Amino acid sequence: MSTPAAQHAPGRAPNGGVAARAHGLTKTYGSGETAVIALDSVDVDIARGRFTAVMGPSGSGKSTLMHCLAGLDTVSAGQVWLGDTEITGLRERELTRLRRDRVGFMFQSFNLIPTLTAAENITLPMDIAGRKPDQPWLDQVIDTLGLRGRLTHRPAQLSGGQQQRVACARALASRPELIFADEPTGNLDSRAGLEVLGFLRGAVDDLGQTVVMVTHDPGAAAHSDLVLFLADGRIVDEMARPTAEAVLERMRVFPGGSPQAAGPDMVRARSGGDAVARED
């Protein structure tokens, strides 16, 4: 495959290629004196068929990065690709279709419709789009997520973990190229959180999905293949094959974001500069 991403960033995405890519991605909110630079010229490749975690202090730009990569938000400068498609510059109608067909999103707060059953929630985006689900795939997702016996329940009749699994199934239902999860375990107890992480891991390993997950929990990040560390709107570090201990240690090494505290083993990301501040 010859994507712009593959040409520009060899080595970052072995085998499966690049599922999403940002080049010089800048996002500012407001203008003049009160302008906030949420993302500051970020270059990143998201490897296809991998589980990538995004970590960083509150306000470092994690959600903004996800939203810009998913085409949920416009960018101020720079380019974003989803697979081969440059999404910056797409018209709203094309962008809407692309989001619907190629991206799944999971939120911290589940965002389920309370009056619909689990099954109805799972297929809602496809129902709205007038698309018939691929039934064998949907069955596989439902069984993988252990939701077979819960399909007629409404969200209030489900535990937090089950609700998030429904949200996960909804994100997977249309078999999107990329799943974004913004702190999907943030509202769950540790056991339910582990369940959801196990399913995201399974989506990558067993179903071949690509997952990008924001988390502030080193234990959650340890389920990923690669952790990207954000600070002040820039990717300042990355860690392959993370363990909870290593992620925690990395966060300890840079308290308050002092680059001088970096050890010799520090691997600088391409947009690197400052160090990673502790999650608050």
Is residue 63 involved in binding Mg ion (CB under 5 A)? yes
Tokens coding 99: 């989001």
44 near 233, Cβ under 8 Å? no
Tokens coding 236: 């300042």
Among 4, 8, 26, 59, binds ligand ADP (CB under 6 A): 59
Q: For ligand ADP, give the closer residue by CB, 118 or 213.
A: 213
Question: How far is Cα 168 from Cα 73, in angstroms, rounded to an integer?
Answer: 21
* Binding piece for ligand ADP, criterion CB under 6 A, among 2-10, 60-68, 77-85, 219-227: 60-68
* Binding piece for ligand ADP, criterion CB under 6 A, among 62-70, 188-196, 221-229, 257-265: 62-70
Is residue 60 involved in binding Mg ion (CB under 5 A)? no
CA distances in angstroms from 170 to 84, 99, 205, listed in the order given:
24, 14, 18
Shortest distance (Å) from residue 108 CB to ligand ADP: 10
Is residue 185 involved in binding Mg ion (CB under 5 A)? no
The one of ligand ADP, Mg ion, none whose footprint includes residue 56, by CB under 5 to 8 A per kind, is: ligand ADP
Residue count, binding to ligand ADP (CB under 6 A): 11
Shortest distance (Å) from residue 72 CB to Mg ion: 13
**Burial call 96-109: b when 16+ CB within 10 Å, e when fewer:** eebbbebbbbbbbe
* Binding piece for ligand ADP, criterion CB under 6 A, among 15-23, 57-65, 76-84, 236-244: 57-65
Map tokens 């697979």 to a residue: 83
Q: Please report, as a single letter, which amino acid is at residue 18.
A: V
The one of Mg ion, ligand ADP, none whose footprint includes residue 209, by CB under 5 to 8 A per kind, is: none
Which residues from 28-47 bind ligand ADP, rule CB under 6 A? 29, 36, 38
**DSSP type of residue 72:** S
CA distances in angstroms from 46 to 11, 21, 52, 88, 122, listed in the order given:
12, 6, 7, 16, 26
* Binding piece for Mg ion, criterion CB under 5 A, among 4-12, 59-67, 157-165, 253-261: 59-67
Question: How far is Cα 16 from Cα 241, in angstroms, rounded to an integer?
Answer: 17
Q: Which residues bind ligand ADP (CB under 6 A)?
A: 29, 36, 38, 56, 58-64
